[in-house]
Amino acid sequence: MNKSSLNITLFFQSIDEQVKQLLKDALQKHVNIKFNFELFCNYVLIKESEDDCKIELKSHQTKMNTLHSTMGDNDETLNEMINNLYNYIKNEMSEFQERDSGWSLTEIMHLEVNINKYQPLRGTNYICLPQQILKRNACVNVKNNDVYCFKWALISALFDINNDHKERVSLYQKKGIHNIQQDTFIINNTTLNFSGLEFPTSVNSIKIFEDNNPEISITVFGLDTDDTTIIGPYYFTKNKTTNVLYNIYLLLLEKEDKCHYVWIKNISRMLKKQLTKHNGKMYLCRTCLQHFHDANKLEQHSLECNKIVTEMPQAGNEDSILKFKNYKNN
């Protein structure tokens, strides 16, 4: 037996760059993914004598993890996530051999990286902003008690009321929003057309709104499980023409089986600490979300930037699985 072939740390080191590149390629093409690792190994159970033994193929599987394009751009974040999964598998292997006395590792067979489609849920009624996000003073979170949070978020964006209580529905009712169920609203000489949308509204349906409203672009972000880190975007705007008058950024909060859209009033303030330590103003490319500290550099970049978002591979598709087989370290 070549014992070096049983070193799980060396095995992970040997495939690490391939794993990272696989995930980065998937993110570049698909924006949002869920993935997990499953390691397959051969174990032997020696009974009364070495001639009386049993060999079985067993696997150690991690839970599904959500990965978004902005996380993939940050090597430190991606490395930390992958290393956590490696460590989880290592612990599983150790616990298995300690728990099931007699089983010993004989061969590391292969690692499967499974990539599945990620579809954020639909926006519904009010969810509070986490305290760390609230402190950034970058969002307007309308306290709706219905399934129309997508409408309320956009209405709050177009009104952009200078008031300490922008979260109150009554404030917009005083401005003429009396029937939230209607399909069209005229705000500051701009028509909001919600025709063809279902409520609550899914992220995938936002393109319908953009088709109805070519002068409005929408990009939707999410929030990681730490309630502090902005992730995504879940949706990149498809409206990238010079006719766009409003570039609107939304935050989709998730809590148990509910989701809720919130208007991000100040996207730079929301993302700045996460993206840069620079003290000056930050400029974001609304197509690929790269950030710059100079408006001229952003303008130059915009001439060349073209981010294409395509449909995620379906779960079970062989093309979404990468296997690393038979590790041997000579």
pLDDT tens, position by position, 34-81: 899 999 999 988 776 666 788 899 999 999 888 876 565 667 878 988
In one letter, which amino acid is 20? K
Q: Is residue 246 part of a domain?
A: yes
Q: Is residue 89 part of a domain?
A: yes
Residues 103 and 138 in one domain: no
Cβ atoms within 10 A of the Cβ of 201, count? 23
Q: What is the C-alpha to C-alpha distance for residues 18 and 7, in angstroms, rounded to an integer?
A: 18
Q: Is residue 211 part of a domain?
A: yes
Both tokens of 99, joined, read 């728990």
Q: What pLDDT is stored for residue 177 in this prediction?
A: 93
Q: How many residues does the chain have?
A: 330
Q: What is the C-alpha to C-alpha distance for residues 205 and 201, in angstroms, rounded to an integer?
A: 7
Residues 67 and 144 in one domain: no
Average pLDDT, the chain: 82
For residue range 115-161, what is the model confidence (pLDDT) as tens digits? 986 765 556 678 999 999 999 999 999 999 999 999 999 999 999 87
Q: What pLDDT is stored for residue 32 in this prediction?
A: 75
Q: Is residue 218 part of a domain?
A: yes
Q: What pLDDT is stored for residue 124 in this prediction?
A: 66
Q: What is the C-alpha to C-alpha distance for residues 197 and 122, in angstroms, rounded to an integer?
A: 12
Residues 171 and 226 in one domain: yes
For residues 299 and 318, the model is more confident at 299
Q: CA separation (Å) from 178 to 40, 175, 182, 239?
A: 60, 9, 9, 29
Q: What pLDDT is stored for residue 128 in this prediction?
A: 92
Q: Is residue 17 part of a domain?
A: yes
Q: What's the domain range around 21? A: 3-118+312-325
Both tokens of 103, joined, read 């089983």
Q: Is residue 240 part of a domain?
A: yes
Q: What is the C-alpha to C-alpha distance for residues 101 and 98, in angstroms, rounded to an integer?
A: 6
Residues 93 and 139 in one domain: no
Q: What pLDDT is stored for residue 308 in this prediction?
A: 39
Q: What is the C-alpha to C-alpha distance for residues 60 and 41, in angstroms, rounded to an integer?
A: 8
Domain count, the chain: 2
